[in-house]
Structure 1
Amino acid sequence: MSAVAHELPRAAINAKLIELISTAAVSLGVLLSGFVLREPAPYELYMAGLIAIWALFGLRLSRPIAPLIVLLVLFNIGGMLAMTQMAEIKDTPLYLAVSLFLAITSIFFAAVTEAKPGLYRVIFNAWLATALVTAALGILGYFHAFPGAEIFTRYERAAGAFEDPNVFGPFLALPGIYLLHRMLTDNPLKMPLYAIPLLILVGGILLSFSRGAWGLFGVSSILLVSALFLQSSSGAFRLRIAVMAVVAVLLLAVAIMVALQFPAVADLFYARATLEQDYDSARLGRFARYGIGFMMALEHPLGIGALVFGDIFHEDTHNIWLKALMDYGWLGFVSYLSLTLWTLAAGFRILFRDRPWQPFLLCTYVVYIGHIGLGTVIDIDHWRHLYLLIGMIWGAIALEYRHQRRHREGFPQTTTDFG
């Protein structure tokens, strides 16, 4: 009896230690996603190792995430078929390898959040931490706050620890929406705790001078407030949401007005705020290339190969749907469209259900919708955080399936693993 009594605490301690290590491992991966100054970035190298180790020690792929797996695999098969249409292969195998790797990360995050729902909070907190660091670096770099700070800018725009301001800005959207959610739903006395970091993130988004990032954050914010308003049947809570939303808008407006007092900020802001830029409406500008590209897709059902469109027109597709057709063929396009619609439909079906992970799903879902819109004006197929968003939504879809199955089988519903 004494031997058994001694073994039980030891087993419990070992289980707790494994839990802490796995939580820290996922947290570190998300932290690294905010630092992509060079490729391959530390994120790729680390996540490749983490996924391999997790797979060896019991990564479980459940039936509810099977559509995610199948559609991502088909999408990448489309890219491989498109490669057969190329006269010169060039760097296409590496490009497709990255596409496949990012698909695997999406499947990984879906699987681990289903297995350990408490990882939602861990992922969000880690994303918030790395976003604050990279946003601060971008702001400091933009204002040349210290020698060598220009490494955190690109094209006179804040880029933080990213290669491209157009990725840096959207990366800050989810943690910004998360803070906005906390401001609207938590104790009003805690508002300064959320308002200060939110202003840092909004400053980074503003100084990225990415019209897509501005629109993404604006649309996601409107969707979040609308969802919270519709979710509650309490008049008092709805009034509070309305009042807090107005306060948040006023704070952001004041912050933007202060930033615009700097001439360099104001000049570039007004230039970027123009809805249509010269490179959009030129004879072979972005919009003209859309039409040409879609006509090419009718003649090349297998696609023309990754990055070939950019070689032909000296500009990328800047449209994820055209990108799918050109680089992944009709198979890739249909797979990506199916994945998008399935994710939206299945996510919306469970969006307002009272679950411990619902706030995280709501924030992820509205930001994902913003990314779908953003994909119409920019290529997003290699954005690391997009695959994390998709993975978290599918993790919630799988959790709801498991929850309903336990209910049908008469098992008690528990949330002790939520953290």
Structure 2
Amino acid sequence: MSPIEAAYSHVAQPQRAALRFIGSAMVAFGVFLAGFVINEPAPYELWMAGLVGIWFILGLRISRFTAMLLTLLLTFNVGGMLSLTQMKDMTGGPMYVAVSTFLALTSVFYAAIIEDSAKRLPLIFNAWVFAAVITSLLGILGYFHAFPGAEVFTLYDRAKGAFQDPNVFGPFLVVPSLYLIHGILTRDLKTSPLRAAALLIVALGVFLSFSRAAWGLFLLGVVLLIFLMLLKERSGAFRLRILILSLLAIVLMVAALLIALQFPQVSDLFSTRAQLVQEYDGEYLGRFDRHRIGFQMMMERPLGLGPMVFGTIFPEDEHNIWLKTLTTYGWLGFVSYVSLLVWTLYLGLKNLLRDRPWQPYLMIAWICIIGHAVIGNVIDIDHWRHVYLLLGIVWGCAALEHRYRQSFPGHSAV
């Protein structure tokens, strides 16, 4: 290396480090904005559109591994484009597919930046926690009408925070809840009170959303997280700590729930929402009836119906992600979605218990993807921003593992 090249390298390295730091901070801010989607397009879309463009212009690479995620998501959206040909009235259809395609690109972007540096994972999750705490506080204050105009953060007497719908608000909070629980169980006990306080706020937000899907997702996530942590940890003392702290956390959560139920407005709505099957589920052309009829229709419509057409035929939209992929993305979209989900779960399971720096983040994201696949039976999740972030996290961590095993072929065991 010549003296000039050496001098340039000495100067350029700090500049590159500064740019990477700024870029990572911008990504974290984008994740933070995902917690504030009252109107569309939301600040998240505007920020991420610019951010994704800037990163790729500056040379962010998509590896062969991440390219498979891109292929599956693009194929899924090609199905959506083909379904547009079935629409008599194109109003809103092209924009719907455009949003789906944009969200797909954000998923690939997250996977690529995580593969580029695993150090971005704690930034992403911490930003998610900050967003969850703030939007939960807004939902809680709104639910109890703590200040004039607070009802903007509620819908149908349910907390929705800075979201349009309580059914998206609640599930958004589950990932940071699990991250906080993991921190309480594994980190220094001195920081546990702060994490516990944040967890109580976020968990109360989940509860006051009165979203049965969010409740189920939260419960499933906690059970799977504790189970996998007990499965992974070999130390008997550490397993005992996990069990004791888990029981303590459950006691605190139950106590907080009992306190919340002392408010009549909470207990009345809880008794209604706690019913497994609501009236609008089982009635004529209710949720389950629409599912049955919709699946029968799609057996004769390989290209689907087109975005949002189902809701013009029936009283409400599909509220089922499997049916939604068929009606909005056709058979091609359905096969692509199922393939993406199965492949994602396989990649996560394959690397789930390996002792890596990114293992906790992979575990939480993988658990929540399972949970979202389950609640997808009663709700549409194809435009949920945080679902695409979860996909990016799992694929990014899998890409990190792939690169690690190539660099250290003798260290691939659990």
- Taking structure 1 as the reference length, the TM-score comes to 0.95
Between the aligned residues of both structures, percent identity stands at: 54
Shift of residue 122, structure 1, vs aligned partner: 0.5
The CA deviation string for residues 313-368 of structure 1, in whole angstroms up to 9 with x for no partner, is 02010000000011111100000000000000111000000110111111111111
Equivalent position SS for 2:105: helix
Letter in 2 for 1:255: A
Superposed, 1:174-193 pairs within 5 Å as 174-193=175-194
Superposed, 1:44-83 pairs within 5 Å as 44-83=45-84
Superposed, 1:336-351 pairs within 5 Å as 336-351=337-352
Partner of 2:275: 274
Letter in 2 for 1:330: W
Unaligned residue ranges in structure 2 (runs of 5+): none
Partner of 2:400: 399
Equivalent position SS for 1:84: helix
Equivalent position SS for 1:19: helix
User: Take 2:371 and 2:239, find their aligned partners in 1: how far apart are those partners?
Assistant: 24
Partner of 1:416: none
Partner of 2:86: 85
Residues 1:107 and 1:2: Cα distance change in structure 2 (over 3 Å): closer
Letter in 2 for 1:20: F
Letter in 1 for 2:335: V
Superposed, 1:377-416 pairs within 5 Å as 377-408=378-409
Equivalent position SS for 1:37: coil
Shift of residue 254, structure 1, vs aligned partner: 0.5
Superposed, 1:27-46 pairs within 5 Å as 27-46=28-47
Letter in 1 for 2:70: I
User: Please, which moves more after superposition, 12-21 or 207-216?
Assistant: 12-21
Superposed, 1:135-284 pairs within 5 Å as 135-284=136-285
Letter in 1 for 2:262: Q
The CA deviation string for residues 396-415 of structure 1, in whole angstroms up to 9 with x for no partner, is 1111110111124x8x99xx
Partner of 1:373: 374
Letter in 2 for 1:208: S
User: Take 1:394 and 1:2, find their aligned partners in 2: how far apart are those partners?
Assistant: 41
User: Take 1:401 and 1:20, find their aligned partners in 2: how far apart are those partners?
Assistant: 24
Shift of residue 23, structure 1, vs aligned partner: 1.2
RMSD: 1.5
Letter in 2 for 1:252: M
The CA deviation string for residues 277-314 of structure 1, in whole angstroms up to 9 with x for no partner, is 00000011000111101100111111111111111002
Tell me if the contact between 2:285 and 2:315 (Cα under 8 Å) persists in the aligned partners.
no
The CA deviation string for residues 118-140 of structure 1, in whole angstroms up to 9 with x for no partner, is 11011001111111110000001
Shift of residue 42, structure 1, vs aligned partner: 0.7
Partner of 1:417: none
Shift of residue 384, structure 1, vs aligned partner: 0.3
Partner of 1:285: 286
User: Take 2:332 and 2:232, find their aligned partners in 1: how far apart are those partners?
Assistant: 38
The CA deviation string for residues 203-244 of structure 1, in whole angstroms up to 9 with x for no partner, is 100111101001001000000000001111222221111111
Equivalent position SS for 2:142: helix
Residues 1:258 and 1:101: Cα distance change in structure 2 (over 3 Å): same
User: Take 1:349 and 1:6, find their aligned partners in 2: how far apart are those partners?
Assistant: 45
Partner of 1:20: 21
User: Take 1:289 and 1:7, find their aligned partners in 2: how far apart are those partners?
Assistant: 65
Equivalent position SS for 1:305: coil
Partner of 1:352: 353
Residues 1:169 and 1:19: Cα distance change in structure 2 (over 3 Å): same
Shift of residue 9, structure 1, vs aligned partner: 4.3
Shift of residue 8, structure 1, vs aligned partner: 4.9
Unaligned residue ranges in structure 1 (runs of 5+): 414-419
User: Take 2:276 and 2:258, find their aligned partners in 1: how far apart are those partners?
Assistant: 20
Tell me if the contact between 2:166 and 2:209 (Cα under 8 Å) persists in the aligned partners.
yes
Partner of 1:117: 118
Letter in 2 for 1:375: G
The CA deviation string for residues 355-397 of structure 1, in whole angstroms up to 9 with x for no partner, is 1011111111111111111111100000000000000000011
Shift of residue 86, structure 1, vs aligned partner: 1.4
Equivalent position SS for 1:307: coil
User: Take 1:197 and 1:402, find their aligned partners in 2: how far apart are those partners?
Assistant: 35
The CA deviation string for residues 39-77 of structure 1, in whole angstroms up to 9 with x for no partner, is 000111111111111110111100112221111111101
Equivalent position SS for 2:114: helix
User: Please, which moves more after superposition, 1-10 or 39-48?
Assistant: 1-10
Equivalent position SS for 1:299: coil
